[in-house]
Structure 1
C-alpha cells in the first residue's frame, strides 16, 4: 500500500499496521481521537532507515538522501 498524505499515514497507524515517530511539536496527529502520542525521552541514538521505491524520481527525495549521506556519521 502506498500512502502519500499525512492523513493517510495516520490511517495506517490507526489500523495498527505501523507506528510513527513524529516531532514533539507536530500536533497533526492530535487531530484524531483514536490516536494518542507517547513521548519517547532519554533514549540512546538509534538507527534510522529510509526506504524508497526503486526508480523514484522525486527531486526532493534525491536531495534528502544526498543530505543524509553527507550529514550522518557512520558508526566506527
Structure 2
C-alpha cells in the first residue's frame, strides 16, 4: 500500500520537455486607494472541536509527516 503522501507527490515518468524562455516581466506600478491591514491577534485561539476536525481529516497524513503521536 502506498503512503498517502506518495499519492499526492509522484515523480513524472515523462521525459522533461524543454522549457520555453519567457521574456522578463515588466514592472507595473500599482496605485490603489485600498489599504490592507492585519487585525489578527498574535495568538489565535483554537477550540478542541477544531483540533478534532483537523485530526479526523488529516490525521494519517500528519502522522506520516511528523511521526506518530506520543
Structure-2-length-normalised TM-score: 0.20
Larger radius of gyration: 2
- Higher RCO, Cα 8 Å, sep 6+: 2
